[in-house]
């Protein structure tokens, strides 16, 4: 299937590893020129060489507005366009309400919500000019079903889905789609790190995998495949959705 991504340009957050890297690989494989964004320069440059020779490696903190502006400007200067924005950043730290101090709430909001809002605002003029703009937000299955010991994610990630739903309504006339991916248990450092907070990490791993009807962890490239389709010309009529990619983990109907 031709996804119509050849000649397009994308900015992908968190692209040095895990889900972000899987997304960047999937887009690049379809002919999209990727700007890969992450904090650690050395790791990001290694990832960029894996993604493709034309990949731009932009190392910096997505909470920094000046950095975000440079990423957008450098991408458009190099590509002459911007068609796709994938808002993806590391998840907030685990913990219960009692374990989570006041300052952690503001920090989590800035990383998981506000950074994507600002990057979207900066990208919008170029996405409108594209005529086929795509915004995809990477969240978590917590947007549909709260996860124990992840109170920050449970509180803030659903807000991203609500913002994206509203944005899809506002931008539809511009030919821009806005969708949200809700990954389940994906084989990433984040998931394995969360197991490490349990008294018996191996038991936590087994319990998580047993809850997944598919009987395994998902792979970052499987998230990448879903994102590539949502960014394609074939998905022009899909907007405002929350798409779980979770092997059947979520039990709810919606």
Confidence of residue 193 (pLDDT cuts 50, 70, 90): confident
Mean pLDDT, the chain, whole residue set: 96
Residue 92 lies in a domain: yes
Number of H helices, E strands in the chain: 9, 7
Confidence of residue 201 (pLDDT cuts 50, 70, 90): confident
Residue 191 lies in a domain: no
Beta bridge partners of 35: 11, 56
Residue 249 lies in a domain: no
Tokens 């960029």 belong to residue: 48
Q: What is the pLDDT of residue 116?
A: 97
Q: What is the pLDDT of residue 168?
A: 98
Residue 157 lies in a domain: yes
Q: What is the pLDDT of residue 21?
A: 98
- Full DSSP string of 126-146: HHHHHSS-EEEEE--GGGTS-
Tokens linked to 209: 């995998």
Tell me: the pLDDT tens digits for 21-69? 999 999 999 999 999 999 999 999 999 999 998 999 999 999 999 999 9
Residue 174 sits in a domain whose CATH number is 3.40.50.720
| Other Cβ atoms within 10 Å of 249 Cβ, number | 20
Assess whether pLDDT exceeds 90 at residue 194. no
| Other Cβ atoms within 10 Å of 37 Cβ, number | 29
Q: How far is CA 35 from the centre of its chain?
A: 14
Residue 202 lies in a domain: no
Residue 96 lies in a domain: yes
Question: Could you tell me if residue 209 is left (phi over 0), alpha (psi between -120 and 50 degrees) or otherwise beta?
Answer: alpha
Report the distance separating Cα 153 and Cα 94, nearest Å: 8
Assess whether pLDDT exceeds 90 at residue 199. no
pTM comes to 0.96
Q: What is the pLDDT of residue 121?
A: 98
Q: What letter does residue 183 receive in the DSSP assignment?
A: E
Tell me: the pLDDT tens digits for 218-232? 999 999 999 999 999
Residue 213 lies in a domain: no
Tell me: the pLDDT tens digits for 123-163? 999 999 999 999 999 999 999 999 999 999 999 999 999 99
Instruction: Quote the number of domains for the chain.
Output: 1
Residue 200 lies in a domain: no
Domain region containing 51: 9-184+219-244
In which order are the strands placed within the sheet that holds 56-59?
A: 56-59, 33-38, 9-12, 84-87, 134-138, 177-183, 242-245
């Amino acid at each position: 299937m031709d996804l119509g991504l050849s000649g397009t340009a994308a900015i992908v957050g968190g692209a040095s590893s895990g889900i972000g890297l899987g997304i960047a690989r999937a887009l690049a494989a379809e002919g999209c020129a990727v700007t890969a964004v992450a904090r650690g320069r050395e790791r990001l440059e290694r990832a960029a060489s894996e993604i493709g020779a034309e990949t731009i490696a932009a190392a910096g903190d997505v909470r920094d507005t000046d950095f975000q502006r440079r990423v957008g400007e450098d991408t458009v200067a190099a590509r002459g366009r911007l068609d796709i924005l994938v808002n993806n950043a590391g998840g907030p730290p685990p913990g219960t309400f009692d374990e989570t101090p006041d300052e952690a709430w503001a920090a989590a909001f800035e990383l998981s919500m506000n950074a994507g809002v600002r990057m979207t605002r900066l990208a919008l003029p170029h996405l409108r000019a594209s005529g086929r703009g795509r915004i995809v937000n990477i969240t978590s299955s917590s947007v549909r079903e709260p996860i124990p010991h992840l109170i920050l994610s449970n509180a803030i990630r659903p807000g991203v889905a609500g913002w994206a739903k509203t944005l899809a309504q506002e931008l539809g006339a511009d030919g821009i789609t806005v969708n949200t991916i809700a990954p389940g248990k994906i084989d990433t450092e984040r998931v394995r790190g969360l197991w490490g907070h349990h008294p018996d990490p191996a038991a936590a791993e087994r319990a998580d995998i047993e809850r997944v009807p598919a009987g395994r962890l998902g792979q970052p490239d499987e998230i990448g495949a879903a994102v590539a389709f949502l960014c394609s010309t074939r998905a022009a009529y899909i907007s405002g959705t929350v798409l779980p990619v979770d092997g059947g983990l979520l039990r709810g109907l919606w």
